[in-house]
A and B are shown apart, each in its own frame.
Chain A
Amino acid sequence: MKKRVSALFLFILMTLTACSSQSDEATATPSENKDGKTEVIFWHAMSGDLETVLKEIVDEFNQSHPSIEVKPIFQGTYEEALTKFNTVAGTKDAPTIMQTFEVGTKYMIDSGKIQPVQKFIDEENYDTSQWEKNIVNYYTVNGKIYSMPFNSSTPVLIYNKDAFKEAGLDPEKPPMTYSELKEAAKKLTKKQGGQTTQYGFSILNYGWFFEEMLAVQGGLYVNNENGRNGNATKAVFNGEEGLRVFDLIRDMYKEGTFYNVGQNWDDMRAAFQSKKVAMYLDSSAGVKTIIDNAPFEVGVSYLPVPDGVERQGVIIGGASLWMAKDISEKQQKAAWEFMKYLSTPEVQAKWHVKTGYFAINPAAYDEEIVKTEWEKYPQLKVTVDQLKQTKPIPATQGALITVFPESRQKVVKAMESLYQGADPEEALDRATEETNRALEMANKK
C-alpha cells in the first residue's frame, strides 16, 4: 500500500514538473531563433487571395533581409484577431506586430500595451508627408502616429455592366445619387412569375457601410467632433444624415428592389456573382477578386449620395500595424524595418494592383506595374480617385471610440429591423441609445 501511495505521489510530481517545464519553454519566446535571425511574429486578418499576396510580400522581405525573419500568422477576422490579442497582450505570447482594423485604433491606444511608432519616426526623421494625406489624417491621434498604416480601403459601388446593358441603362453612367440609384435598381429588378430573379441593389448588414454613407454626407458618428476633440460621450448618428440612409434602405426594400444579403461578406459576393443582385456596396479591397471571378463585366463607382447633398468623401477603412510594447529593442527595430518595407512605393504598388487596397504611399501610382494594371483594370483607379476627392473634415476623419464593435452590432440590428418593417427613426434612435450606454460604461473604466 505504502509503495502504491508513494508511486502515486511520484506520478503527480512528475506530471506537475512536466507541465511546468513545458510552460517555461512556451513563455520564453527568444528574440532570436536558431539561425540567429531576429524573429518578428506578425498577426494578421487577411484571408483568401489577400493572404496569398501578403505571404509573397513577406517572403520577399525575408529574402532581402537576412537577419530578420517575419512570421505571418492568420488569426481570423479583425474582430476575432483583436479578441485573441486582448487575451495575450502584455505577455510573452503577444505578437510583435498586430494588424488591427481602423475602428480598433482608440481601443489599441487605450490598452497601453503598444509602442507608438512615432518614436521610430522621430528617431529616424522618417518622412510621413510621403503618405496619402487622408491616411495621416485618420491615424494621427493627439498629434502622434501610433500605428503604421498598411492596408487602406474605401467603400465603392460595384455593379454588373452586362445587367445594365440588358436593362437599357448606360453601363458607363452608374448612379451617383439616391434617386438615380432607386431608378436604376427598379430597372434592374427582374421578376419571373411571382419570384424576383434579380434584385437591383444590396448593402451588407455591417456597420462600416452605414458609417461611410453617413460620412459621405458630412454626418458625424459621435459628438466632440467624432471623438477627436476629447472623449466622445454621445452618439449622434441619428441625425438627418443617418435617417436618409435608413429611409433609403427601407424604401427600396419596400419596393422590392433591395435584397437582404445578411452579415456575411462571402454571401454578399456570392449573391452578386450569381447575378442575384446587380449593384451592391463593397470594400475596394475586394475589387480585384470580384473582377477576376465574375462571369460578366464589372463596373466600380463612387458611393452614392442623397440628392442635393454635397459629396464630402469617404473615411479610410482597412487596417494598420501596431507594435508590441514589452519586447526587446532588437525585435522592435526589426518590426519597424518590416513596417517601413511595407510602406515603400514598390510594395504598395504590388499590394494595390493585386488586391484593390489603395497605396498608402501615392508614389506607388507612378510605378510601372500600377500603370499597366490600371489599363487592364481601370476600376482600380476609381477607388483612388474617390479618396483623392475627400475633404479633410471630422466626418471623413472617422470616429474615435473604444466601443466601436459593440456600436456596430447595434447598428446592424437596427438595419435588420428595417426588413421587418420597423420605423427607420425608431430603429436608429434605439441604436443611438444603446451606443450611448456603451459609451457611458466605457468612460467609467
Chain B
Amino acid sequence: MNAPLSVKSSPSVPVRRKRAVWTTLEGIVYLLPSLILFSIFLFYPMLKTVYLSFYATDHQGNPVQFVGIENFVYLLKDVNFLQSIKATLLFVCYTVPASVVLALCLALMANEKLKGIGLFRTFFSSTMGMSVAASSVIWMFMYNPSIGVINKVLSLFGISDVQWLLDPKIALISVSISTIWMNIGFTFLILLGGLQNIDPTLYESARIAGVSYWYQLRKVTLPLLSPTLFFVTTVSLIHSFQTFGQIDILTKGGPMDATNVIVYSIYKDAFINYNFGSASAQAVLLFFAILVVTFLQFKFGERKVHYQ
C-alpha cells in the first residue's frame, strides 16, 4: 500500500477517502482487461450502430449524409420490415416454448436413476455439440422435396410431396422444427443440472408423505427448478430473437420473406444491399425490442420464481 497507515484504530476522514479512491482504482485495474475487450467488441460497435442509424451511407459503410430519423420512419412504414417483425415473433413463439417443454420432459426422464441412463443423457444433449451450420445442412437435405428423406418416408404412407422450405406457409415451421432440435441439447443440459441440484431429502419427505408423482412434480420439482427454468427461457428467448445461421442456410429469408427474421434482414440490408444506415436502424429497433421483452420477463416472470 502506498498510503502509510499511521492511525490504527479509527482512520481520519482524508485517509479513509484516500483509501476509498485507491480501492476503486484498484478495482478498475482488475476490470480493465474485460473493460477493454467489452469496449472494443461491444460498446464501440453499439455506439457506432446507433450513430450510423441516423445516416445514409456509401457502399463501404461510411456515413455520407445525415438523415435524422428518416431510416426509422421508412422502416416502420415498410411492409417488408413489418413482415420481418411478424416472422421473428412467430419464430420465437414456435421455438421457445416447444424447446423448453420438450427439453424439460427429456430432463425429467433422464433424471431417473436407471441403468444405462448416462447413454441417454449423452444422446439427449448431443445436439449441443453440433454447429448450427452442420445441422442446418443435414436438415436441408432431409427437407429437399425431390431427394429428401422426409418426403420419401411420407410417400410410403401415400402422403403427397410437401415443399417444406418452398411453401411460405410451411417454411417458417420447418425452420422452427430444425431449430428446436438444435436447441434441445443446450436446454436439456441446463435443466438436467438444475434437477440434480434439488435436495434429495425433499423427495424423501415426499415419498414418506406418500404423494403422487404429479403432485411431487408440481409442488417440489417445478418450484425448485424455477430459477433454472427462468434462466433457460430468458436465454432461449434472446437467442431465438437473434437466429441467423439456419435461416441463411435453409431458406435465405425466402420464400416471399416468410422466414426473413430481423437479424437476417439486417444482414441482407447491410452486407448484400449495402444499406448500412437502414440496417443499423433495424439493429437499434431489435435491441430495444429485446430489452423490453427481457425487462417484462424479469418484471412478471420472476415473480413466479422460487429462490431457495
Give chain A's interface residues, CB within 8 Å of chain B. Answer: 1-2, 5, 8-9, 12, 15, 79, 83, 86, 89-90, 107, 110-111, 193-195, 205, 260-263, 267, 270-271, 274, 276, 402-403, 405-406, 409, 412-413, 416-417, 419-420, 438, 441, 444-445
Contact = CB atoms under 8 A, between A and B. Distances in A.
A83 B271 contact: yes
Interface string B26-48: 10011011001000000000000
A38 to B, nearest CB: 28
B166 interface: yes
A16 to B, nearest CB: 8
B160 interface: yes
Contacts of B58: 445
B256 A420 contact: yes
Interface of B: 1-2, 26, 29-30, 32-33, 36, 56-60, 64-65, 144-147, 155, 158, 160-161, 163, 165-166, 168, 252, 254-257, 268, 271-275
7 contacts: A2-B2, A86-B271, A262-B165, A274-B147, A416-B168, A416-B256, A420-B168
B155 A195 contact: yes
Contacts of A405: 272-273
* Nearest 7 pairs of A and B residues by beta carbon: A276-B146, A406-B273, A271-B146, A416-B255, A83-B271, A262-B166, A416-B256
A110 B36 CA distance: 37
A17 to B, nearest CB: 14
Contact of B272 (A194, A276, A406): A406
A431 to B, nearest CB: 12
Given A5-B26, A445-B59, A205 B146 contact: no
Contacts of B166: 260-262, 419
Contact of A403 (B32, B144, B257, B273): B273
Given A83-B272, A413-B257, A274 B146 contact: yes
A270 B64 CA distance: 46
A266 B37 CA distance: 42
A197 to B, nearest CB: 10
Contacts of A107: 59
A90 B58 CA distance: 14
A89 B61 CA distance: 12
A260 B163 contact: yes
Contact of A413 (B64, B145, B146, B256): B256
Contacts of B60: 86, 89-90, 111
A426 to B, nearest CB: 13
Contacts of B273: 403, 405-406, 409, 438
Nearest to B163: A260
Contacts of A12: 32-33, 36
Contacts of A205: 254-255
A132 B216 CA distance: 81
Contact of A195 (B26, B32, B57, B160): B160
B272 A1 contact: no
Contact of B158 (A193, A409, A412, A416): A193
Contacts of A90: 60
Contacts of A260: 163, 166
Given A8-B29, A83-B271, A267 B144 contact: yes
Given A110-B59, A111-B59, A195-B160, 6 more contacts: A89-B60, A107-B59, A405-B273, A409-B272, A417-B256, A445-B59
Contacts, number: 92
Contacts of A262: 145, 163, 165-166, 254-255
Nearest to A6: B29
A405 B64 CA distance: 22
A195 B161 contact: yes
Contacts of A406: 272-273
B240 to A, nearest CB: 24
Contacts of A194: 160
Contacts of A79: 272
A188 to B, nearest CB: 15
Contacts of B144: 267, 270
Nearest to B165: A262
With most chain B CB atoms within 10 A of its CB, the pick from A89, A262, A403 is A262
Contacts of B29: 5, 8-9
Given A270-B144, A405-B272, A416-B168, A263 B254 contact: yes
Contact of A86 (B1, B59, B161, B268): B59
A89 B58 CA distance: 13
Contacts of B36: 12
A1 B158 contact: no
Contacts of A409: 268, 272-273
A251 to B, nearest CB: 19
Contact of A270 (B56, B65, B147, B252): B147
Contacts of A444: 56, 65
Contacts of B1: 1-2
With most chain A CB atoms within 10 A of its CB, the pick from B36, B145, B268 is B145
A267 B64 contact: no
A77 to B, nearest CB: 11
Nearest to A406: B273
A233 B29 CA distance: 57
Contacts of B146: 261, 267, 270-271, 274, 276
A445 B30 contact: no
A60 B149 CA distance: 42
A86 B271 CA distance: 9
With most chain B CB atoms within 10 A of its CB, the pick from A9, A193, A267, A405 is A267
A8 B163 CA distance: 59
Contacts of B168: 416, 420
Contact of A445 (B64, B254, B256): B64
A412 B272 CA distance: 15
Nearest to A272: B146
Contacts of A438: 273
A97 B1 CA distance: 60
Contact of B30 (A8, A86, A276, A416): A8
Contacts of B252: 263
A2 B26 CA distance: 10
B84 to A, nearest CB: 13
A193 to B, nearest CB: 7
A376 B126 CA distance: 50
A444 B57 CA distance: 10
